[in-house]
Amino acid sequence: MPEPDPYENPKEAVAPTGAGGAMDLAMSEAETLERGGTGRPRSLWSDAWHQLRRNPVFLVSALLIVFLVLIAIWPQILTGADPLRCDLSKSQQGSAPGHPFGYDTQGCDVYTRTVHGARASITVGVCATLGAALLGSLLGGLAGFFGGWWDALLSRIADVFFGIPVVLGGLVFLSVVTSSTVWPVVGFIVLLGWPQIARIARGSVITAKQHDYVQAARALGAGSGRMLLRHVGPNAVAPVIVVATIALGTYIALEATLSFLGVGLRPPTVSWGIDISNAAPQIRNAPHMLLWPAGALSVTVLAFIMLGDAVRDALDPKLR
Amino acid sequence: MLLEVRDLYVEFRTRDGVAKAVNGVTYSVDAGETLAVLGESGSGKSVTAQAVMGILDTPPGRITGGEVLFRGRDLLKLKEDARRAVRGAEMAMIFQDALSSLNPVLTVGDQLGEMFVVHRGMSRKDARAKAVELMDRVRIPAARERVGQYPHQFSGGMRQRIMIAMAMALEPALIIADEPTTALDVTVQAQVMELLAELRRELGMGLILITHDLGVVADVADRIAVMYAGRIVETAPVHDIYKAPAHPYTQGLLDSIPRLDHKGRELYAIKGLPPNLTAIPPGCPFHPRCPRARDVCRIDVPPLYRVSEERRSACHFWEETVDASSA
Amino acid sequence: MPPLLEVRDLVKHYPLTRGVLFRKQIGAVKAVDGVSFDLRPGETLGIVGESGCGKSTVAKMLVSLERPTSGRILYKGEDITGLSGRALKAVRRNIQMVFQDPYTSLNPRMTVGDIVGEPFDIHPEVAPKGDRRRKVRELLDVVGLNPEYINRYPHQFSGGQRQRIGIARGLALNPEIIVADEPVSALDVSVQAQVVNLMEKLQTEFGLAYVFIAHDLSIVRHISDRVGVMYLGRIVETGTDTEIYDHPTHPYTQALLSAVPVPDPEAREQRERILLTGDVPSPTGIPSGCRFRTRCWKARERCALEVPLLAVPAAFRDADTPARHDSACHFAEEKRVVPGDPRGHTG
């Protein structure tokens, strides 16, 4: 059915010229905006969700992440084998029936190790990112919103953490705090990662709070909580999401670096980081050892970055 | 004729489709003449000027037709380096926002002198002396002392004077001023417009003044071209247009501004909104907002009808409009 | 009628400090430096002035977005400058603001319904929960927007429509006073008239009192009952629109009016222009005595020594002319600077 001509629609009829004023707009609104439903009240979050459900990028990345999380929790879904059962005689051999990815230097099955490695890597990546993002945006956001001495103090503390060299700091910290779990590594990454997020959050909160709509809310009598949550927060969150999703990849890689140096995760823990660092020297004679864990890592990082992108776009009504 | 723009078309590729910013604009300026190009935001007045100056961002912009004849040469056919030689030396532009048009890390003396170093191959020292001379000319007090200062150390009005000095530096034949006083306060605006008019007289330049302010136009222009939706809807000598506009849009604009000399009753408001440039209404682009619109206006694009020797109006019913407004 | 709002000697100084650890005050930006006026129910007070004259700071203090350094703002006789918490919130219901920039004054991530309905979230006593949606639609209708657009976002609207949304938000709590800071200066000429007409219509409909702040002298005359002219943090002349525009006695008002470009080419030859020299002094270093003296063509020794008070000048005290109104000049003289309308008063 063709669109009704807005100029001849009696409901939108316009007062004769010269009358000026309010009703005159009705017509051209119909011209610039397509007719929209009225229906139930909508909010930013419900609109964002509505948008996300139709976004193929979001669907693909979300499915991938769900899948990765599932195998991180239950690696048994994909393999019944024990990643620690190795056979030195098969060291660095290529794929064989039942062992599609081949064997590593120790003669362990690369497929089984890649599947089991998801748990440590994703735990470190997700937990460290969540920790750093929450801590960083909380501290940075408050510093930006309230300013003053709180801001000055926090910025100096963040500067101090920025100054710590990652590798040296890791060597010192992780040789003191030892444990067979992933938590010391997560803790260390959060400790080093939050200032970066805090800086971004602080900057975007300062930008957002200068807008007139924050003043308008204050003039209405809104409290600090409301201004932060409804006005400043949603408008400052986009850069944080972008940086956090990119950071997720670097954190998984950082875990690998620390493991390579012998202070990160330690065997018998299985992680992509450990496997990548073991495989790196052998890249010429056994590239398959590197290919699979590195490929899994890349896909995981990509999935999170795509998810971050989609969420950021969905939260911006202008891009709809 | 110093500058003739003939049937110029400019498009922009945007997320929402192709925006037709300029749709067949024709105007001309003679040496020593001031042409005011009047229009609201989105009318295409600035885009036309950018196309004339050759500073249009391409992409997203694209000139899809027309000619820009400057002293008889079609600038659109020139190579970029030939155009660059024209820019600055033969035609110059003054922008609205003087602060962002000046480089904050260079002194104003360096920026003014640059023109002479680049175009005239002068030494730094001579260029500096020229800069002082220019600042004197645009009446910046204590020019010799201030030539070494940075843009932020000048007030808004003084910065706009520096922009004018820069535009004048090589004594171009044509100046295009895009809303040169919009960001300034009225008292400063008056000073700057006065200066611009005086320099134009002195140097016999052509001036294209792009503005939305009907007051400023009445003050300085010789002729006016009124733009709407990328078209010229009316062009006329300044006195005629204020006495009896020949296009309903011009008339609507004149009637919608409140007056300084009496309080007045309710303002006349042109109904509706300016059109979306990606979907300009068929026929006369003003018809959805026009009190005189009839069936023909929805179908036929009005040509520029000849109202008198020097006047044109793109309204099918221009006679009626003139009669009504002069009655 | 008693005034709704009495503003007395309002001052806002922003300290200029140096040093991080040991802050030392090295001066002050005197944004507002002693402003007094009354606002009566249902009237429009226009405040004009150039940028930096402090008019926006006055607006912010009126709606308690800035706390005055000194001075009082009495709302129905009660001093509201020191209020906080619940008492401040209650006052805010009655004094609302419309902002200049329709692009930054609406949260881009909220729907129109949420923006216009937010006042009800903050002041739940105004509208019961189930009723809010209906109220928001009513408000949109009142400002001339289609109530069906309630779920749209601000960027889907033009500047003029956004300003209508801002006005609807200001109206939601049924205020008595609306402070409008340059509400139409960001809009195109043809849309300005629509918004000005709307504001006038709403004033009659709801009995609102406006403080209308703008730099455009023509619009201020059109909408205001009384006008105050500000220069460097002070009101230099105040009176009815006729008194100020047709019988100005302060040299600054005269210069300001004479500089306004009038849309009439015939006027340009005959019209006398008072071109002020120089720029407005910085509000950190306000001249002694009369603050306008550095740019005034009438300035004499007395002007540097003695601050002129805002009162009816001695010369006009016994006269029965419209020149008899408050003007802060030692040498006040009437001077007509606005040319007449060639097309007559019918427009």
- Beta carbon pairs, A and B, within 8 Å: 39
pLDDT at A7: 32
CA distance A189 to A193: 6
Contact A31 B276 (CB under 8 A): yes
Contact A29 C145 (CB under 8 A): yes
Region A33-43: mean pLDDT is: 47
pLDDT at B319: 86
Q: B141-193, pLDDT tens digit by residue? A: 888 888 888 888 888 888 888 888 888 888 889 999 998 888 788 888 888 88
Beta-carbon contacts of residue B131 (< 8 Å; ≥ 6 apart) = B108, B109, B110, B112, B113, B116, B147
pLDDT at C347: 36
Strands (E), B15-123: 17-29, 34-38, 61-70, 73-74, 91-94
Mark which residues 141-170 of C lie under 8 Å from B by CB.
Answer: 158, 160-161
Residue A29, min C-alpha distance to chain B (Å): 8
Contact B288 A20 (CB under 8 A): no
In C, minimum Cα distance to B157 occurs at C279
Residues of C in contact with A222 (CB under 8 A): 118, 122
Residues of C in contact with B156 (CB under 8 A): 51
pLDDT at A254: 83
Strand order in the sheet with C5-18: C24-39, C5-18, C70-75, C78-79
Mutation choice for C interface testing from A9, A24, A29 by most C CBs within 10 A: A29
Contact B269 A24 (CB under 8 A): yes
pTM reported for the whole predicted model: 0.81
Q: Which of A91-100, A168-177, A180-189, B215-224 has the lowest mean pLDDT?
A: A91-100
Residues of B in contact with A28 (CB under 8 A): 271-273, 288-289
Residues of B in contact with A9 (CB under 8 A): none
For residue A37 the two structure tokens come to 């439903």
For residue B11 the two structure tokens come to 């498009």
CB A256 within 8 A of CB A274: yes
Mean predicted lDDT score pLDDT of chain B: 88
Residue C196, min C-alpha distance to chain A (Å): 8
Residue A34, min C-alpha distance to chain B (Å): 13
Name, of A204-213, C140-149, C229-238, the range with top average pLDDT: C229-238
In B, minimum Cα distance to C199 occurs at B266
Buried b (16+ CB within 10 A) or exposed e, A119-141: bbbbbbbbbbbebbbebbbebbb
Q: B224-256, pLDDT tens digit by residue? A: 999 999 999 999 999 888 888 999 999 999 988
Contact B256 C190 (CB under 8 A): yes
pLDDT at A17: 31
Question: With 50 as the cut, is the pLDDT of residue A24 above it?
Answer: no
CATH architecture of C5-224: 3-Layer(aba) Sandwich (3.40)
Quickly tell me which residue has 């910085």 as its tokens: C282
Mark which residues 276-295 of C lie under 8 Å from B by CB.
Answer: 276, 278-280
Residue B99, min C-alpha distance to chain A (Å): 21
pLDDT-derived band at C252 (thresholds 50, 70, 90) equals: very high
Would an 8 Å CB–CB cutoff place A213 in contact with chain C?
yes
Domain locations in chain C as residue ranges: 5-224, 234-327
Helix ranges, B221-316 (H):
238-243, 248-256, 295-299
Of A22, A32, A220, the CB nearest to C198: A22
Contact B288 A7 (CB under 8 A): yes
Specify the domain boundaries for CATH 1.10.3720.10 within chain A.
44-319
Would an 8 Å CB–CB cutoff place A89 in contact with chain C?
no
Of B266, B272, B279, the CB nearest to A24: B272
CA distance C91 to C4: 12
Of C256, C263, C341, the CB nearest to B215: C263
Provide the CA C190 distance to its chain's centre, in angstroms: 22
Phi-psi region of B61 (alpha: psi -120 to 50; beta: other; left: phi over 0): beta
Mark which residues 43-62 of B lie under 8 Å from A by CB.
Answer: none
CA distance B85 to B103: 21
Region C220-248: mean pLDDT is: 93
Percent of chain C with pLDDT over 90: 52
* Chains contacting C (3 or more CB pairs within 8 Å): A, B
pLDDT at C20: 61
Region A169-192: mean pLDDT is: 83
Name, of A170-174, A280-284, C173-177, the range with top average pLDDT: C173-177
Q: C327-340, pLDDT tens digit by residue? A: 999 998 888 888 76
Q: What is the ipTM of this complex?
A: 0.84
Mutation choice for C interface testing from B45, B227, B260 by most C CBs within 10 A: B260
For residue C317, CA distances in Å to A1, C320, C321, C322 come to 74, 8, 10, 11
Phi and psi at C98, nearest 5°, equal -115, 130
Region A241-268: mean pLDDT is: 79
Residue B39, min C-alpha distance to chain C (Å): 9
Residues of B in contact with C242 (CB under 8 A): 263
Burial class (CB in 10 A: 0-12, 13-18, 19+), C152: buried
Contact A20 B273 (CB under 8 A): no
Of A26, A219, A235, the CB nearest to C92: A219
pLDDT-derived band at A23 (thresholds 50, 70, 90) equals: very low
Question: With 90 as the cut, is the pLDDT of residue C250 above it?
Answer: yes
pLDDT-derived band at C21 (thresholds 50, 70, 90) equals: low
Of B41, B221, B259, the CB nearest to C188: B41
CB B11 within 8 A of CB B21: yes
Question: With 50 as the cut, is the pLDDT of residue B47 above it?
Answer: yes
Residues of A in contact with B272 (CB under 8 A): 14, 24-25, 27-28, 31
Of A7, A16, A20, the CB nearest to B269: A20
Of C65, C97, C148, the CB nearest to A38: C148
Would an 8 Å CB–CB cutoff place A267 in contact with chain C?
no
In B, minimum Cα distance to A14 occurs at B271
Q: C142-171, pLDDT tens digit by residue? A: 998 988 889 888 888 888 899 999 999 999
Contact C190 B263 (CB under 8 A): no
CA distance B251 to B247: 6
Is residue B24 helix, strand or coil? strand
In B, minimum Cα distance to A22 occurs at B271
Mutation choice for B interface testing from C190, C212, C215, C218 by most B CBs within 10 A: C190
Phi and psi at C234, nearest 5°, equal -135, 155
pLDDT at C165: 94
pLDDT at A22: 34
Of C222, C241, C265, the CB nearest to B242: C265
Residues of B in contact with C219 (CB under 8 A): 258
Percent of chain B with pLDDT over 70: 99
Say what angle helices A148-163 and A110-146 make with each other, to 10 degrees.
150
Angle at B137 (CA atoms; ends B133, B139), nearest 5 degrees: 115
Angle at A165 (CA atoms; ends A163, A166), nearest 5 degrees: 125
Class of domain A44-319: mainly alpha
Mean predicted lDDT score pLDDT of chain A: 77
Question: With 50 as the cut, is the pLDDT of residue A1 above it?
Answer: no
Tell which residue, C334, C338, C140, C149, has the closest CA to residue C248: C334
Of B268, B276, B288, the CB nearest to A18: B268
Question: With 60 as the cut, is the pLDDT of residue B302 above it?
Answer: yes
Tell which residue, B82, B67, B63, B70, has the closest CA to residue B29: B70
In A, minimum Cα distance to C142 occurs at A22
Of C99, C109, C173, the CB nearest to A44: C109
Name, of A95-104, A179-188, B26-35, B178-187, the range with top average pLDDT: B26-35
Mutation choice for C interface testing from B179, B184, B187 by most C CBs within 10 A: B187
Name, of A288-297, B291-300, C20-29, the range with top average pLDDT: B291-300
Question: With 50 as the cut, is the pLDDT of residue A91 above it?
Answer: yes
